[in-house]
Amino acid sequence: MVKILIVTNSVTGGGAEKAMNILANELHKREFDVSIIAINKSLFNSSEIDCHLFEVERTWNGGVFDTIGAWFKFKDIIKKLEPDILILNCDLPEFFGSLLVRKKKIICVEHSQYPWRTRPLFGKIIRLILRFKKVTWVAVSNHLSIWPNGLKPDKVILNLISECSPILPKSGDLIKRLVFIGRLSWEKNPQEIIHIAKLVNLPVLFIGEGVDKEELCKIASTNKVETKMVGFKEKPWELIESGDLLLVLSRYEGDGLVVVEALQRNIPLLISNIPEFLRFELPKHNYAGKDTDFSKLILTNRSNISKFKVSPSIVNKVLLQRDVEIVCRSWSNLIHDILVSK
């Protein structure tokens, strides 16, 4: 039986971690010997993972000695498991994987348009090492190339999403609250939703954690915008209520899983008009650019939140390539090809 080891930042986190948890579960169902290594310590437990889980428990943003200790623990797990395939996701797993001396068959997954954004020089060194290791590159979207040289990925395989039924329409068409779901950090642009909320005089629900949390509280207080911050939630969609409008204001995206999951659930949404989102080909009124553009759309349709729901035909087109059998078959074929050819 093929042994697959998926390496992620943490048990719970952003779209990359969630997508890999789902992939691990689905491959596990198909009788692959799958395990996950989560490098960073998570503040939250997860009920999503059905396969073997190994937690290194490095402190997030920890110091040099903490990172060195975590790497040795990581190396010991690798030695114990002896996987046939390593699947590395995001910066820290790439770094740890690049330091392994023994030759391994490695797949690196490009989840972001701008990986290694805060440490670009170090990232270039790590990716040069990975290049010498002849890793296979998988991108989670057709618009992604492999940083830093803009190379074409060896394979494009879209992320899986959890199966669910659309949320049935609820009574009432009035927009009552704006909702942000995701990491509270620069690339997700959470500050913008406060500016929009001030223009339209609506409260905001933030679901997520991140380094910008304190700044957001200050901005909300200064602008006298009512905000509620509930932190990370494993099942954020359960908090959505009648009258909630989801705003996704990202400056850039890898895959845009929050948008995909919202479409799957029939949740009204308004998103930034970045190229990564325009590829979904939603109606024009689901996109906006500046905060004034968002506010104009919201005020114009204040009593018609259904305007921001997307028709089933468009949703089905977006979800088609994320069919679990299609995605798992793509991964299975890739793994088979790597084991045969390398």
pLDDT tens-digit series, residues 157-190 = 999 998 887 766 565 699 999 999 999 999 999 9
Query: Could you tell me if 23 and 118 lie in one domain?
Result: yes
In a domain, 32, yes or no: yes
* 298 and 196 Cβ atoms separated by less than 8 Å: yes
Q: What's the pTM value of the predicted model, to 2 decimals?
A: 0.92
Distance of CA 181 to the CA centre of its chain: 11
Domain limits for position 265: 177-310
Q: Is cis: bond before 148, omega within 30 of 0?
A: yes
The rounded mean pLDDT for the chain is 94
More confident residue, 311 or 61: 311
> Which of 45, 330, 23 shows the shortest CA–CA distance to 4?
23
86 & 66 share domain: yes
- Is 136 found in the same domain as 216? no
The lowest-confidence range among 12-21, 149-158, 310-319 is 12-21
Residues 144 and 267 grouped into a single domain: no
Q: Name the domain count of the chain.
A: 2
Compute CA distances 62 → 57, 88, 103, 185, 255, whole Å. 11, 20, 28, 18, 28
At position 237, the amino acid (one-letter code) is W
109-161 pLDDT, tens digit per residue, is 999 999 999 999 999 999 999 999 999 999 999 999 999 999 999 999 999 99
142 and 48, same structural domain?
Answer: yes
Question: Does some domain include residue 316?
Answer: no
Judgement on whether residues 142 and 275 belong to the same structural domain of the protein: no
Angle formed at CA 265 by CA 263 and CA 266, multiple of 5 degrees: 65
Q: Is residue 98 part of a domain?
A: yes
Q: Measured between alpha carbons, how far is 216 from 227 in angstroms, rounded to an integer? A: 9
Residues 21 and 100 in one domain: yes
Residue 276 lies in a domain: yes
Asked whether residue 8 falls in the same domain as residue 147, the answer is yes
Is the residue at 239 inside a domain? yes
Structure confidence by residue, pLDDT tens digits, 77-120: 999 999 999 999 999 999 999 999 988 899 999 999 999 999 99
Distance, C-alpha 207 to centroid of its chain: 14
Structural domain contains residue 315: no
- Same domain flag for 190 and 91: no
**Same domain flag for 333 and 298:** no
Share of the chain above pLDDT 90, in %: 87
Residues 190 and 335 in one domain: no
* CATH code where residue 126 lies: 3.40.50.2000
Tell me, yes or no, whether 172 lies in a domain: no
Check: CB of residue 220 under 8 Å from CB of residue 248.
no
Average pLDDT estimate for 223-234: 95
In a domain, 46, yes or no: yes
The residue written with tokens 């911050």 in the block is 229
Confidence bin at 307 (pLDDT 50/70/90): very high
Judgement on whether residues 82 and 203 belong to the same structural domain of the protein: no
